[in-house]
Amino acid sequence: MNTIKKYGILIRRLRDAEHFDFFKYNTELINAHLPALEAIKPLCQSLCQLFAKEDKIFKRSRKAEETQLIRTTYRRTRNEFMIIKHTVTAAAYSNDPALKAVANTLEFVLRNFKTLPSTPMNETSALVAGLVQDLRQPKNAAAVAILQLSAQVGKLEASNETFRQLYAARAQEHEASAEQGNMRSIRPQVDKSFVLFTRTLAGLYATARATGTPARVAALKEIIDGINAIILQYDHIYARRHTPGSEIEP
């Protein structure tokens, strides 16, 4: 084929994953034919650099396993706290006056942290750290030891530290993503760069057909045919997605 198929509407309608794959295949094709594209190398580089940004944004947005790990650690921290709370509550019902007094001491401490189980993630770490600090005060540490909760306090602290580190790392990633943008902001930039590249490539090919060597014409035609094959593939994917009962082939 001597011209590049129309694709403007298509790339705007592709899902993020499809958009990512569409440009992954196109940039791989471009990089494989860079010698033939030397005359428009800056355009090739610009498109590939923008897609590299999309690559980072897309992959970062799909780190669901990290979010799940944070949630799991958050729940574990709450559970470690509930073990302490239930142990103290049970001891408060003891018929042993000494044990009951110890439990009352710790119940007074825990009263300041009664909202911990329902505390939002971003406030949990500081609250747990405060609780651990209070439980380790000399006047409370003895009561903790009598109820055999010293190791449990250590587990609470360790779980909270793991949660704090994971949550902080994600916060840093979110800050970086705010600077780099998101798929909604990067996609139009990649699309615009691709439009400029394909228009210039079409002009380069037309000039080669008029004045270039057969080898030059063949090299550029191979690139255009490759781009058209990718466009056709995603035309089919989009069409099948909107055809009842059809299956989308990979």
Residue 14's pLDDT is 93
Does one domain contain both 174 and 75?
A: yes
Residue 79 domain-assigned (yes or no): yes
Q: What is the pLDDT of residue 65?
A: 55
- The pLDDT of residue 243: 58
Residues 123, 81, single domain; the answer is yes
Residue-range definition of the domain harbouring residue 103: 64-179
Tell me, rounded to whole angstroms, the distance of Cα 85 from its chain centroid: 35
Q: How far apart are the first and last CA of the chain?
A: 24
Q: What secondary structure does DSSP assign to 161-229, as a single string?
A: HHHHHHHHHHHHHHHHHHHH--HHHHHHHHHHHHHHHHHHHHHHHHHHHHHS-HHHHHHHHHHHHHHHH
pTM: predicted TM-score of the whole model, two decimal places: 0.56
**Based on the domain organization, do 89 and 167 belong to the same domain?**
yes
Domain boundary among 179, 209, 226: 179
**Low-confidence residues in the chain, pLDDT < 50:** 244-250
User: Which bin fits 181, alpha (ψ -120 to 50), beta or left (φ > 0)?
Assistant: left
Q: Are residues 175 and 96 in the same domain?
A: yes
Q: Would you state the pLDDT for residue 22?
A: 96
| Separation CA 116–CA 125 (nearest Å) | 10
Number of domains in the chain: 2
